[in-house]
A and B are shown apart, each in its own frame.
Chain A
Amino acid sequence: MLKSLNLRAALISITLLFALGGIWELATPKVKSATEMTEYEKLMGGADQEARVPPPSKIIKLAITELSDPFYDNGPNDKGIGIQIGYSLYRVLAGYFLAALIAIPFGFLIGMSPLAYKALDPFIQVLRPISPLAWMPLALFIIRDSQASAIFVIFICSIWPMLINTAFGVAGVRKDWINVARTHELGSLQTAYFVILPAAAPTILTGMRISIGIAWLVIVAAEMLVGGTGIGYYVWNEWNNLDLTSVIFSILVIGVVGMLLDAVFAKVQRAVQYQE
């Protein structure tokens, strides 16, 4: 039953994909080929007065050429999609793991000590709703490096969900399990590692998963600002080139990479999940 359900769902997905793609394709008027154009039309840049969203067939064609050679490098404004994604991933992961390094220990502290919670809560509440991009000017001024500033922006946006979820998970560890640790004479570090960490792991991982999602959202905007390299810069650059086909292609790539990142964390989350 489940198998047939999955099968049916897949069938519907594929049908939808083809139907929507087909409608899109058909809705795009054919552009006359150059040989059919009059001299005037050629001079005006084609038969159409309006620029149009390119049809799926053109995007697929571009995707095939781009993906068949993703790592070429022809100078600052012409790099393969793989290189651009690589830059973005590097920034996201660097900022993200720096944030984890700070957020998880602090989350433990806040979760275990009501005093620390009360003392730090106002800071968290004020800093958390700030759009990460708002930090950008300050980061650029202080760090004086666009690359590092982008990493800082990722750091600052991914720290909050991890911090709050870690604190929440740690504070919510059942008293019974702490008592098990106490009756077995476990020290505070041992208790944190052998009891609190595995008990809070599912909640912590939820925070980490939210964070990686936000980080991937933010990197595109951040790279549009700092420029140079990365998938966000690529999108903006192709927009400036008026190459909408490449813009749509990179949008799809951003979606797929984001999905893969989420899938990795979902897998880790399942691994630490437990049933009471």
Chain B
Amino acid sequence: MDEKPFLEIDNLSRRFPSTEGGEPLTVFENLNLDIFKGEFVCILGHSGCGKSTVMNILAGLDKSTSGAVTMDNYEVSGPSLDQGVVFQNYSLLPWLSALKNVTFGVKARHPDWSKKQVLEHSYKYLKLVGLDDGAEKRKPSQLSGGMRQRVSIARAFAIQPKLLLLDEPFGALDALTRGTIQDELIRIWSGSDQTVFMITHDVDEAILLADRILLMTNGPYARIAESVVVDIERPRGRAEIVHDEGYYKIRNHLVTFLARRSKEMAGRLEDGVVVGQPVSVNPAKENLIKKEKTKTTPELVPVAS
């Protein structure tokens, strides 16, 4: 990929002031990451490692302490319709029907549209998630968790953001529903050139959906240790993908990372070490490690914690 990245994260740091006037808590520092147009990127790591903080900064809901995020040549300085967010708890407005929740987004995006246009556009996306059979007239409280998350996904896609951010969207769903909606998500995404950044805890989900999986070490001073390339051919199906020869290599790599290396690699890097883009790894092809983009050529020096 020689083109200019669509999203650039440059030397991003986030520190929270400590409550008792001691050392501030550094969630992560000097984070660098490029994401290309149309990529589906998953970020994987333990709870509390700072994934959500990264996402909130990308969404503009949180501010970084230093560093910058540039999207499509503009700096991200606050929340906007260019970043669509799907939250884990759906964040639907409970006093509005499913349909009104989607039109809420569409109206915000296209204030000049007529009622009919708004409705047509909203129905198009409700149909994509299979919610156009009368269920769209119901309030979120009358919908199941899975249906609520579908509405939330429809709302996010309907505003056609430049970047779609998904914060563990399937975390609260049962396994069967999760599978169905993953399939729907991948189907909707395939028909678009939507760039997606998704947080997940689920290794299989990440492999099924992502082009690239970012592995984050435990915090504080978390960093993206590796960028695992998933080049399993698309379209992927949950039944077929497990028979792909690369699948278990990738899976083992991810599980090993989560179980062991995320902890071993945790901790602050020595002063003076500059971190560039995360190391690109392709476990399906015998761990051919190469660096994709050489802004700076860092050596990763893990400091035992």
Contacts and interface: CB of A to CB of B under 8 A. Distances in A.
A184 B91 contact: no
Nearest to A182: B79
A200 to B, nearest CB: 11
B123 to A, nearest CB: 19
Interface string B42-83: 000000000000000001110000000000000000111101
Given A177-B91, A199-B95, A184 B108 contact: yes
A247 interface: no
B93 A186 contact: no
Contacts of A176: 87, 89, 91
A179 B90 CA distance: 12
Contacts of B237: none
Interface string A260-276: 00000000000010111
A183 B141 contact: no
Interface residues of B, number: 24
Given A176-B91, A184-B159, A185-B79, A194 B104 contact: yes
A275 B94 contact: yes
B153 interface: no
B156 to A, nearest CB: 9
Contacts of A186: 108
Contacts of A199: 93, 95
A185 B106 CA distance: 12
A195 B80 contact: no
A195 B96 CA distance: 10
B105 interface: yes
B81 A183 contact: yes
Interface string B190-206: 00000000000000000
8 contacts: A177-B91, A180-B93, A182-B60, A183-B81, A183-B85, A186-B108, A274-B94, A275-B141
5 smallest A-B Cβ distances: which pairs?
A275-B141, A274-B95, A184-B108, A182-B79, A176-B91
